[in-house]
Structure formats: structure tokens, C-alpha cells
Structure 1
Amino acid sequence: MERFLAFNLEEIPYVVAVLLIAFTVHEFSHAYVAYKFGDPTAKNQGRVTLNPMKHLDPFGTILLLIAGFGWAKPVPVNRFYFKNPRLAGVLVSAAGPLSNLVVAAIGYAILYSFFASGQPIPVYVEPFINKLIQLNVVLFVFNLIPLPPLDGYRIVEDLVSNSTRAKMTQYENYGSLIFLILVIIPPLNAITIQPIFSIVIPFIYDLMNQFFTLFFY
């Protein structure tokens, strides 16, 4: 069975627990910021909540365990409620990935608190915190990729001109297909997805390690 999973069997309980947190916080952040900017759509659907059952997509969660990538239920956003649609749109889209970065930072803070105090980390706490950091950093980075339906695409969409936005809209339906092609086809994966894991994500780990080392020592 293990060969059909993206994680080792012993990691699965930690991965599931972390995904409950990461996906829930991510989608809650989208819904909360949209509501604060005047859009009640997500609020009316019960999405301004930290209840995981309101945010998890069963198939997207299972796929993440099997293939290493997945998704939660998208938060509905109605831009017509925003007084400044571009600014609100950028902030609503950015709220999700940034919330994952904050969760990762909290994980680092917990680890470094143990390191600084000299107290041993409980046997089940360290792997959970490590996975909390790992998956939230991955979600932060991947959601900023400028391909639909990812948050990075929505941010770019709100930053470009109306004419460019109209042209981008024509190709939105192909975004998921393009992403799958980049993930599945080895040559394309090697030049697009793999550098994210080999360069970008380690760079973020290094930055956060440096920050918390300065802060705690």
C-alpha cells in the first residue's frame, strides 16, 4: 500500500492532522478577508469558520496523500461587493498563502522555543511540527504559482490591465490541465516543478531558520 502514497505510512497521521490545519486556515483566511472587504458570499455559506469540514474537499485531500498535491474547497468571492476590487482582490487572494506562511512560522517558533530552553521535544511533537512547517511552506509557495486556479494567478489577474485580464480569462479553463502536464511529464517537471523543491522552498527554510536563530539566540 505504501508505494501508492506520496508519504510514508508512519507520516500519514501527521500529514492528515497538518492538512486539517493548513487547508482550514488557508480557506478561512480567504473567506474572512473577503468578508471584511464587504463580500458576504463566503460568510453566507458558512465558510468564515475554522471548522475543517466546511473547507476540505475529500477528493483533493485523498489526491494529496497519493500524488503529493491536492486542494480544498475554493472560497466563493463576489468582486462586485468590493469598493476597490483590484486591491481587495489581491489581498483576498494573498491571504490564503500568507496564512500558511504564518502557520509555518508558528511551527518554527515552537521548535526554537524548545531549542532555546534546552528542554527535550516530546517524541510525537517534533515530527508533527516538522510536517506542519514543511507542508505549509509548500502550500505557500505552490499557491503563488501564476496558473489558474491558484492564488498567484488571481493576484496577477488583479495587477494587470483590464485588456490583459480579458485575454487571460480566455485561457483560464486550461490552467489545471497545464499544471497537470507540468507535474506529470518528466522533462517539463524537471524545469518547472523540481526547482521549486530544490531551490525556492529550501531558500524559504533557510530564511526562516536565520530569522528564528537571531530571534531566539
Structure 2
Amino acid sequence: MTTATTRSHERRISPVFLAILAVMAVTGWAVWTDFAALPGLAVFLFVTSAWVVSLCLHEYAHARTALYGGDVTVGAKGYLTLNPLAYTHAVLSVVLPVLFVIMGGIGLPGGAVFVDRGRIGSRWKHSLVSAAGPLTNVLFALVCTAPFWLDALDGVPPAFRYALAFLAFLQVTAALLNFLPVPGLDGYGVAEPWLSYGLKRRIEPYAPYGFFVVIALLFVPAVNGAFFDAIDALMRALGVPEASRYCGARLFRFWEGTPEFCGA
């Protein structure tokens, strides 16, 4: 179906994405081999570029699923090229999540690609389009934590292990936040097709503010504690020790200094 409804250039991977992917590969190698003079800087660049790659894949998953659901306009909008500059809200989709990782250390949901919902036929397809993005974060988290839950850490350098742990933490927080059934987030997009027309009309005026309400609530101590308790439980279930995640976060914010016990 894809080749019948999109032109080849609309599916060509963007040089911008390839450049980000190259930065991730080179800095990942630098972390693994301890090649960099400043290990923290290498971890910072590796985690940041990998986080941007995951954001691109998140939005691509939305667009690709929408294409198969019937929205053939996503190709012309550039969403199938993995180019973060093509997003409807590039600042919300990439810049703000990256800044929030640097300042707050959690994976912030980004802005979504614009999908023509009128072209998508069934409620199941509508829900799947919304779910595809955060499910990509779940898959990314499983890949990052595979060495932990497979007990395959022998030979993995400590700095690389810590970077994977922190990157997995970002994916888990992004997935959990995105799956919240709050207007403006993907979780609400999953549930919305199944709501009554009247209820959707009553919720619609508040949709633009849902994202910011969630961020504000994270500053409420009780909500913040419950949220991170859930994150900690998920990370433990994935076999990631809290110390590894902590060291990854400290290496990432290398300008704050790294504790000696982190071994980097």
C-alpha cells in the first residue's frame, strides 16, 4: 500500500536523521571504548542523540500507522522521512523534550505529527495510530534494558551500561506519560474514539492545556512521588539497578561532577 500511495522521495530517509544517527553511533563507540577524554561529554552526546532518534521513531510510528490506516497525506508532509524538522511542532517534538532531559532528567512527551483523522475509517485504527508512538518508546526501552534482563552485562563497560540505564529511564518515563488518558497526550488519543460525542465536545476546549497540566502536576510532591515510584517499579522489573540509572544521570550531567563510585 505504501508504494501505491506515496512517492519515493516522500519515503526517503532524511539526511538530518542520518546525521543524528551517525552522532549516536560515533559517541556510543566513544563511550564503549572509553576513547573520549571526557567520558561524561561522550555519554551526554550519546544519550542526547539516541533520545532524539527515539523521538523521530516515535513520530514516524504515528505517521506510518496513519498511512496504513488511510491517511495518505502524511507522505507529502514529510513525516515518513524521519526528519524532525518536518514535524508540525518541531520545538515541542524535539527541542523541548531535549531541554527537559537536560534540566529535569525525564523523558518528556513531544508534540505529535498532524494526522488527518477524517481519512481513517475505524475506531480501532484511530486508537492504534495514537498508541504506535509510545509503543515505540516501550520497544526502545526493552532494547536498552536487554543486557540487564538477559543478564548479559559481562564485557559491557560501566559507562556504557550506565548510559543505557539512563536512556531506558527516559524511554520508560516518556511511555508512561504518553499513555496517560489526558487530552493532548497519546493515551487520550487511544481512548477518544470510544467516547461519546457529547463527552468529546465537553473535553475538547481543554485539550490544548492537558500536556501543561501534567507537567505542572509533576511538581506536586505527592504526584511526583507516585509517578517515580511507578517508574522505579518498572525499572526494577526490567532488571535495571537504581545505582546504574543514577550513575547514568550523573554522567549525562557531567558539568555537575560524577561520584567516584560510578567508575567513570
Give the TM-score, by structure 1 length: 0.77
Equivalent residue number for residue 106 of structure 1? 143
Which runs of no fewer than 5 residues in structure 1 stay unpaired? Answer: 1-8, 211-217
Query: Which residue of the other structure, out of 204, 208, 212, is the alignment partner of 2:234?
Result: 204
CA root-mean-square deviation: 2.5
Aligned-partner residue type, residue 88 of structure 1:
K
Instruction: For residue 76 of structure 1, give the secondary structure of its aligned residue in structure 2.
Output: coil
User: Following TM superposition, by how much is the alpha carbon of 1:124 offset from its aligned partner in structure 2, in angstroms?
Assistant: 4.1
Partners of 1:42 and 1:51 lie apart in 2 by 13
Asked if structure 2 preserves the Cα contact closer than 8 Å seen for 1:47 and 1:75, the reply is yes
| Per-residue deviation, 1:75 | 0.7
After superposition, the Cα gap between the structure-2 partners of 1:153 and 1:77, relative to the gap in structure 1 and judged at 3 Å, is same
| CA shift in 2, pair 1:79/1:59, >3 Å | same
Amino acid at match of 1:197: F
Percent identity of paired positions between Structure 1 and Structure 2: 26
**Aligned counterparts of 2:117 and 2:94: Cα–Cα separation in 1:** 24
Corresponding residue to 2:69 among 37, 46, 54: 37
- Tell me the TM-score normalised to structure 2 length: 0.64
1:172 aligns with 2:221: no
Q: How far, CA to CA, are the matches of 2:146 and 2:104 in structure 1?
A: 30
Q: How does 1:7-46 map to 2 (within 5 A)?
A: 12-46=44-78
Report the alpha carbon displacement of residue 89 of structure 1 after superposing the two structures with TM.
1.4
CA shift for structure 1 position 145: 1.6
Q: Does 2:158 align with 1:126? A: no
1:82 aligned residue: 120
- Checking the alignment, whether the CA contact within 8 Å between 2:134 and 2:186 is kept in structure 1 is yes
Gaps in structure 2 of 5+ consecutive residues:
1-39, 88-92, 241-264
Aligned mates of 1:29, 1:53 — CA distance in 2: 16
Match of 2:94 in 1: 57
Q: 1:68 to 1:148 in 2, by over 3 A?
A: farther
C-alpha spacing 1:80/1:193, structure 2 compared with 1 (3 Å):
same
Cα separation, partners in 2 of 1:155 and 1:51, compared to 1, 3 Å? same
| Alpha-carbon contact 2:127-2:190 (below 8 Å) kept | yes
8 Å CA contact 2:172–2:231 kept in 1: the answer is yes
- In 1, Cα distance between equivalents of 2:148 and 2:82: 24
Q: Give the total of aligned pairs.
A: 194
Paired AA for residue 191 in structure 1: A
CA deviations over 1:29-71 (Å, ceiling 9, x no partner): 1111111111123222111233455455324422442244544
